[in-house]
Amino acid sequence: MKQEYIITIFSENNIGLLNRITINFTRRKINIESLTVSQSAISGISKFIIVVNETEERVKRLVAQLDKIVDVLKTFYHTSENMIFAEIAMYKISTELIYGNDELGEIVRNSGAQIDEITKDFIIIEKSGLKKETQDLFNKLNKFGVMQFVRSGRVAVTRDRIERLSEFLKTRDNELEKLN
Amino acid sequence: MLKNITGSKAVILSLLEEGVDTIFGYPGGAIIPIYDALYDFKEKVNHILARHEQGAIHAAEGYAKVTGKAGVCFATSGPGATNLITGIADAMMDSVPMVCITGQVASPSLGTDAFQESDVVGISMPVTKWNYQITNGDEIPGIIAKAFYIAQSGRPGPVLLDISKDAQTHILKEFEYKKCHQIRSYLPEHQINNKRIDDAVKLINEAKRPLLLVGQGVIISHAEKELKDFLEKTGIPAAWTLLGLSALPSDHPLNFGMLGMHGNYGPNILTNKTDLLIAVGMRFDDRVTGQVSSYAPQAKKIHLEIDPSEINKIIKVDVPILGDAKKSLSLLTEKVKPNKHTKWLEKFRQCDKTEYDTVISKDIHPEKGKITMGETVRIVSEKTHQEAIMVTDVGQQQMIAARYSKFNNSRSCVTSGGLGTMGYGIPAALGAQLAAPDRTVVAFIGDGGFQMTLQELGTIVEHKLPVKIILLNNDFLGMVRQWQELFFEKRYSFTELQNPDFVMISEGFGMKSSRVSKRENLESSIQKMIDYPGPYMLEVKVEQEEDVFPMVPSGACVSEIMLTKENKDLKN
Ligand SMILES: Cc1ncc(C[n+]2csc(CCOP(=O)(O)OP(=O)(O)O)c2C)c(N)n1
């Protein structure tokens, strides 16, 4: 059964690696729902968070292929339940529309969103949360017309107490030592 | 420590530090500085100028397969580099260690569509184990060290380094070479898990009808002796994949032949009767498994494998043993109980007999009709006393050569397995001969494949490499014709070849050549070829519409193997 999985890749910070990672998805015709790259808690190590909709079987095999990339340190995959995650969405709405419309003002006030900027032409609203929540807000606002909308890739952390990578790095050091 | 040397010289010195003595390549504008540096080292490195970059890279593959060391290949930017891609993809599929070095336009021109610029790093990414673009000459020694380490360790594979022209001319203030032994993000090999060994031992001791599958991993990890010890102690029959050929001597009493589509009858049909499969360094390619869902569903499975991504990729296994096959096999041998499996082996012998009577005897000892590929291969194998390195191209001739050549020694089969690259044979043979100057190298090539890389005959002649090329000419793209015959109602759509005078062509290159079309002259022609001290091309006019059997049709179950075209459904 297909479901949402969050793939976390820890890697060296090298040029071209994103390409090497994504061709593994393209080749297997797996669509990337969202992708975020940032530094991890460990300096020099990048963290990719990639969301896909797939069967666990295929995700497992994909993760094994990603792990094989020379510059990749370690790849994990989780279901959404095992992670705390969020996305940020921004909405641009005409100022005139809001002031002329009580219902719209109400929606914005009750949405838990924050207002980033107001000009005489437009208002920028920002909301973070689950995709469903930011999408709901979009649907409501869009009844009146949203001029621009954008949602970030997902950021996520595990519920574990420590970054699993640090544990991994310790065992890796051990393994490498035994090899030589 | 050397001071103030060019990046190009650093490239050559680094290669020397890695023990490189042979380079296959083809120059061009973007790699001239490296070739210029090479000019001063002509005594130390043998550079083989191929006639096409595809020739260079397949030759490097042949060299790598025979030596086990990385094959090294040079090409210029743009078309030079793109011409390497087929060979790189081939090496990736077949786990061949390779270090390819391509020239690139100067770094300020990158991304401007400069003359002969192509995004080689991008293009080669899906088919390399690792690749890297060097634009800073100071990186050269470190990156080359890394390249060799990655190409040759763990599951080997091709690495490509793209070096910009300004990096080649850059002056390195100091040059010091340190070999690479470790990369934090890369674990080439796992420690063997003893619990898994115990689990496997239990399955092996309990098995009544086990079968061991020999993959190329046995050869790569130099585990031929460990394999033999294991088999002889347990009495387990073995069969090999195309790339596992020659890991176990052909005449070994536990060697029951080839697996898969054109493999032997016993190993295929009995796959679905075994209670335990032990796969060693192989990856359950579809040409081996046939239909996956009906592949040995009854059997427990043990998989000895160095690459974690191969575990459960195609076939779910009960006991995966990650690690180097040489080590895991010897751990297993230590712990397993001796056994004989006499009755079970008898089943294989019965199958051998059935196959011999229905297929093999008329293939290799035909009495009428035109010369067959099978008898040619048999005679060549006999006359070289099973000591030759056999190279093949792709198609019917490849399958026949694999089925009927016999081997006493490992690393004697050089063939394109996973990619099935036509045009591989002639250049790979020249690489193999350079890797083993004292061994006889015979290459079986089809008339189609011959015409894909025949320009390398020139390279063979130039270097006086005594390669023996046996052109099995059926005036057809034989393997495709066979499929059209069997599965497309004999509609021979574009598979008939209008061929040139091959003898004249080879002679044009200065290669001694002859042609044989009558059975009574076959042996003497082959003898003449083998006795000839230099390169030789023997064209054998063979039966035009010969089919390779047995055959597991694509997508069929291994036990649905056809022995002849008449008994498509002979089952056990
Ligand atoms: C580069 C390439 N193109 C096409 C094919 C598909 N193909 C596989 S076997 C074959 C026929 C080979 O004919 P020939 O070289 O005459 O050898 P034969 O099968 O007759 O021994 C073809 C076209 C291939 N394997 N490689």
ipTM of the complex: 0.93
Distance of CA B48 to CAs B75, B84, B101, B191, B526, Å? 12, 15, 14, 40, 28
Range of the domain at B268: 194-347
Determine the atom of ligand 1 nearest the C-alpha atom of B421: 26
The ranges of chain B with pLDDT < 70 are 567-572
Pairing of strands B276-280, B210-214: parallel
CA atoms of A41 and A166, how far apart (whole Å): 9
Domain contains B554: no
Q: Cis before residue B141, ω within 30 degrees of 0?
A: no
Q: Are residues B340 and B378 in the same domain?
A: no
Q: In chain A, which residues have their Cβ closer than 8 Å to the Cβ of B191?
A: 175, 178
**pLDDT at site B568:** 53
Task: Report CA(B342)–ligand 1 centroid distance (Å).
Answer: 41
Residue A180 confidence (pLDDT) above 90: no
Residues B352/B358, Cβ–Cβ less than 8 Å:
no
CA atoms of B319 and B328, how far apart (whole Å): 12
Q: Does B312 touch chain A (CB under 8 A)?
A: yes
Q: Per the CB < 8 Å rule, is A172 touching B184?
A: yes
**pLDDT at site B79:** 98
- CA B218 to chain CA mean position, Å: 13
Residues B98/B150, Cβ–Cβ less than 8 Å:
no
B401 lines ligand 1 (CB under 6 A): no
**CATH code for the domain of B426:** 3.40.50.970
Q: Are residues B231 and B165 in the same domain?
A: no
Q: What is the mean pLDDT of chain A?
A: 91
CA atoms of B458 and A109, how far apart (whole Å): 81
Q: Are residues B392 and B535 in the same domain?
A: yes
- CA B252 to chain CA mean position, Å: 22
**pLDDT at site B394:** 98
Task: Indicate the residue of B150, B189, B308 with minimum beta-carbon distance to A179.
Answer: B189
CA distance B157 to chain A (A): 12
Q: Which two tokens stand for residue B466?
A: 């005594």
Q: Which two tokens stand for residue A150?
A: 């954008």
Q: In chain A, which residues have their Cβ closer than 8 Å to the Cβ of B312?
A: 60-61
**pLDDT at site B570:** 43
Q: In chain A, which residues have their Cβ closer than 8 Å to the Cβ of B186?
A: 70-71
Q: Are residues B341 and B380 in the same domain?
A: no
Task: Indicate the residue of A12, A172, A180 with minimum beta-carbon distance to B187.
Answer: A172
Residues B407/B355, Cβ–Cβ less than 8 Å:
no
B314 lines ligand 1 (CB under 6 A): no
Q: Per the CB < 8 Å rule, is B190 touching A71?
A: no
Q: Which two tokens stand for residue B331?
A: 């751990």
Q: In chain A, which residues have their Cβ closer than 8 Å to the Cβ of B317?
A: none
CA atoms of B330 and B226, how far apart (whole Å): 6
Determine the atom of ligand 1 nearest the C-alpha atom of B397: 21
Residues A52/A25, Cβ–Cβ less than 8 Å:
yes
Q: Are residues B414 and B284 in the same domain?
A: no
Query: Which contacts qualify for B345-354: CB closer than 8 Å, 24 or more apart?
Result: B345/B235, B345/B237, B345/B254, B347/B266, B347/B270, B347/B273, B348/B237, B348/B256, B348/B266, B348/B267, B348/B270, B351/B264, B351/B265, B351/B266, B351/B269, B351/B270, B352/B256, B352/B257, B352/B264, B352/B265, B352/B266, B354/B265, B354/B563
Residues A75/A69, Cβ–Cβ less than 8 Å:
no
**pLDDT at site B567:** 62
Residues A80/A6, Cβ–Cβ less than 8 Å:
yes
Residue showing tokens 């890695």? B18
Residues B349/B340, Cβ–Cβ less than 8 Å:
no
B480 lines ligand 1 (CB under 6 A): yes
B473 lines ligand 1 (CB under 6 A): no
* Length of chain A measured in residues: 180
> At residue A42, what are phi and psi to the nearest 5 degrees?
-100, 130
Residues A22/A30, Cβ–Cβ less than 8 Å:
no
> At residue B231, what are phi and psi to the nearest 5 degrees?
-65, -45
Q: Are residues B264 and B379 in the same domain?
A: no
**pLDDT at site B516:** 98
Alpha-helical runs (H) found in B47-104 = 53-67, 79-82, 85-93
Of B142, B175, B208, the domain-final residue: B175
Selection from B17, B139, B134, B5 nearest residue B72 by Cα: B17
Q: Are residues B308 and B383 in the same domain?
A: no
Of B347, B382, B404, the domain-final residue: B347
B396 lines ligand 1 (CB under 6 A): yes
Domain contains B205: yes
Task: Report CA(A161)–ligand 1 centroid distance (Å).
Answer: 57
Residue showing tokens 């046996």? B470
**Environment class of B352 (CB within 10 Å of its CB; exposed 0-12, middle 13-18, buried 19+):** middle
- Catalytic residue positions of B, numbered: 53, 115-116, 165, 479
Domain contains B570: no
Chain A residue whose CA is closest to B134:
A15
Chain A residue whose CA is closest to B312:
A61
> At residue B263, what are phi and psi to the nearest 5 degrees?
-75, -170
Q: Are residues B208 and B132 in the same domain?
A: no
Q: Are residues B125 and B75 in the same domain?
A: yes
Q: Does B189 touch chain A (CB under 8 A)?
A: yes
> At residue B528, what are phi and psi to the nearest 5 degrees?
-60, -40
Task: Indicate the residue of A68, A172, A180 with minimum beta-carbon distance to B307.
Answer: A68
Q: Does A57 touch chain B (CB under 8 A)?
A: no
Q: Which of B394, B398, B547 to mutate to test the pocket of ligand 1 (most atoms within 8 A of CB)?
A: B394
Domains within chain A, CATH numbers bracketed = 3-84+156-179 (3.30.70.260), 86-155 (3.30.70.1150)
Cα dihedral B322, B297, B230, B390, rounded to 10, equals -90
Domain contains B257: yes
Q: Per the structure, how many domains does chain B have? A: 3
Q: In chain A, which residues have their Cβ closer than 8 Å to the Cβ of B182?
A: 176, 179-180
The percent of residues in chain A predicted with pLDDT above 70, rounded, is: 99
End-to-end CA distance of chain A: 43
Q: Are residues B260 and B228 in the same domain?
A: yes
Residues B420/B503, Cβ–Cβ less than 8 Å:
no
Selection from B163, B125, B156, B133 nearest residue B61 by Cα: B156
Q: Which two tokens stand for residue B475?
A: 């005036």
- pLDDT tens digits along A29-43: 999 999 999 998 888
Q: Per the CB < 8 Å rule, is B183 touching A70?
A: yes
B447 lines ligand 1 (CB under 6 A): yes
B392 lines ligand 1 (CB under 6 A): no
Q: Are residues B272 and B343 in the same domain?
A: yes
Domain contains B84: yes
Domain contains B387: yes
The DSSP line for B420-466 is --TT-HHHHHHHHHHH-TTS-EEEEEEHHHHTTSTTHHHHHHHTT--
Domain contains B185: no
Task: Report CA(B105)–ligand 1 centroid distance (Å).
Answer: 36
Domain contains B546: no
Question: How confident is residue A62, by pLDDT bands cut at 50, 70 and 90?
Answer: very high
**Helix, strand, or coil (residue A107):** helix
Q: In chain B, which residues have their Cβ closer than 8 Å to the Cβ of A61?
A: 309, 312-313
The protein residue whose alpha carbon is closest to atom 17 in ligand 1 is B446
Selection from B203, B105, B100 nearest residue B160 by Cα: B100
Task: Report CA(B523)–ligand 1 centroid distance (Å).
Answer: 27
User: Which residues 87-116 of chain A have a CB within 8 Å of chain B?
Assistant: none
Interface test with A, best of B149, B184, B313, B315 (most A CBs within 10 A): B184
**CATH code for the domain of B294:** 3.40.50.1220
Q: Are residues B330 and B438 in the same domain?
A: no
pTM score, two decimals?
A: 0.96
Q: Per the CB < 8 Å rule, is B308 touching A67?
A: yes
Handedness of CA B13, B17, B23, B26 (dihedral sign): negative
Q: Per the CB < 8 Å rule, is B185 touching A73?
A: yes
**pLDDT at site B572:** 37
